[in-house]
Amino acid sequence: MVARILDGKVIAQEIQAEISRSVAAHVAAGGPTPGLAAVLVGEDPASEVYVRNKQRACKRVGIASSLHRLPQLTSTDELLDFVGKLNEDSTIHGILVQLPLPQQVDAARILDAIDPAKDVDGFHPYNVGLLSQGRARFLPCTPHGILQILARCQIDITGKHAVILGRSDIVGKPMATLLSQKDSPVSPQCCNATVTLCHSRTADLPSITRQADLLVAAVGRAKFVTAEMIRPGAVVIDVGINRTDNGIVGDVDFAAVSAVASAITPVPGGVGRLTVTMLLANTLVSAGGKLTS
Ligand code: GUN
């Protein structure tokens, strides 16, 4: 079997075109121009790239974006003050504090301080609570992007076994929540899965991954998922972005796994494109707009 490539670039372009039209319609109807403030503390090279991509994407769809650079040695209190000012600024509808933060900063306190109404990452405990009750205002961007890929590629996961590798707050946990819910904010076909959430202490991982109809890999380890771990015909979503001597690779051994799976996302050009795109969608919603296709 040769897997179908689920092209994140094409899907992201399609959604960004929809966002662009929706932003224009929102502004034409008298709504405010959506504004996103990104906060970058220090000079982490990967974060620099992410933030630059977010800025460019904002520009493409008509969202006003500002980048606030703070020094590496910024304290928790200084960052709390800064976030407080952004909370008060009525031209800012979305606040994104790029993670990871330097180790002297208490990241949980910072994320808790972002106004939940401007928390376009969906990381605030209030928004996590809404998500777990199935009434989220902001879906976390990476899991939301994955649902968009599944929905737009007409992959029905109803009643299927979804295995998620990685229990992070950003990807694994919210992904498990969304896939197992009774209803989906994206499409009726991308919920109602039976979900297994695996992590570093999971025993005999391959025996579990081989049961997966849908495998979502978010472990942050280059080529961690091998062909032997895949049930023939499974759909494989690769969330990994690992920098190696041979460039950026995912958590999945793409060449080997694409010979076994029925569909797979590439890295780069897969899920990453959607993460940025769904941030734009959340910023539009936060400004009172609505994403229409
Ligand atoms: N660092 C890596 N991914 C993300 C993300 O989705 N949001 C933020 N704020 N930081 C990140």
CATH number (domain holding residue 261): 3.40.50.720
Residues 98 and 170 placed together within one structural domain of the fold: no
36 lines ligand 1 (CB under 6 A): no
171 lines ligand 1 (CB under 6 A): no
Over the range 58-96, which residues count as b (16 or more CB within 10 Å of their CB) and which as e?
beebbbbbebeebeeebebeebeebbeebeeeeebbbbb
Taking Cα atoms as reference points, which of 255, 292, 286 lies closest to residue 119?
286
Residues 220 and 97 placed together within one structural domain of the fold: no
- Does 132 reside within a domain? no
H helical segments located in the chain: 8-28, 45-61, 76-88, 107-113, 125-132, 141-152, 172-180, 205-209, 254-257, 271-286
Give, for all 293 residues of the chain, the pLDDT tens digit: 799 999 999 999 999 999 999 999 999 999 999 999 999 999 999 999 999 999 999 999 999 999 999 999 999 999 999 999 999 999 999 999 999 999 999 999 999 999 999 999 999 999 999 999 999 999 999 999 999 999 999 999 999 999 999 999 999 999 999 999 999 999 999 999 999 999 999 999 999 999 999 999 999 999 999 999 999 999 999 999 999 999 999 999 999 999 999 999 999 999 999 999 999 999 999 999 999 88
Residues 191 and 236 placed together within one structural domain of the fold: yes
Check if 55 is active-site: no
Residues 184 and 258 placed together within one structural domain of the fold: yes
Residues 226 and 151 placed together within one structural domain of the fold: yes
- Does 288 reside within a domain? no
Tell me the pTM: 0.97
Residues 147 and 262 placed together within one structural domain of the fold: yes
Residues 112 and 154 placed together within one structural domain of the fold: no
Residues 102 and 150 placed together within one structural domain of the fold: no
288 CA to centre of ligand 1 in angstroms: 23
- Does 189 reside within a domain? yes
Residues 87 and 160 placed together within one structural domain of the fold: no
- Does 105 reside within a domain? yes
State residue 102's pLDDT score. 97
**Are 140 and 120 spatial neighbours (Cβ–Cβ below 8 Å)?**
no
Q: Which domain holds residue 248?
A: 141-272
98 lines ligand 1 (CB under 6 A): yes
- Does 10 reside within a domain? no
Residues 109 and 151 placed together within one structural domain of the fold: no
- Does 55 reside within a domain? yes
- Does 283 reside within a domain? no
119 lines ligand 1 (CB under 6 A): no
How far is residue 207 from each of residues 45, 107, 161, 203, 271, measured CA to CA in Å?
Answer: 37, 36, 13, 9, 25
* The pairing of beta strand 242-244 with beta strand 247-249: antiparallel
**Mean pLDDT of all residues belonging to the chain:** 97
State residue 1's pLDDT score. 77
For residue 2, the number of C-alpha atoms closer than 13 Å in the C-beta half-sphere is 0
- Write the CATH number for 41: 3.40.50.10860
* The pairing of beta strand 64-70 with beta strand 35-41: parallel
Reported as a single tens digit per residue, the pLDDT across 166-196 is 999 999 999 999 999 999 999 999 999 999 9
Residues 103 and 170 placed together within one structural domain of the fold: no
Work out how many domains the chain is built from and give that number: 2
**Are 284 and 34 spatial neighbours (Cβ–Cβ below 8 Å)?**
yes
How far is residue 5 from each of residues 9, 149, 242, 268, measured CA to CA in Å?
Answer: 11, 11, 20, 12
Residues 206 and 266 placed together within one structural domain of the fold: yes
Q: Mark which of 85, 117, 149 sits at the end of a domain.
A: 117
Atom index in ligand 1 nearest the CA of residue 47 equals 1
- Does 131 reside within a domain? no
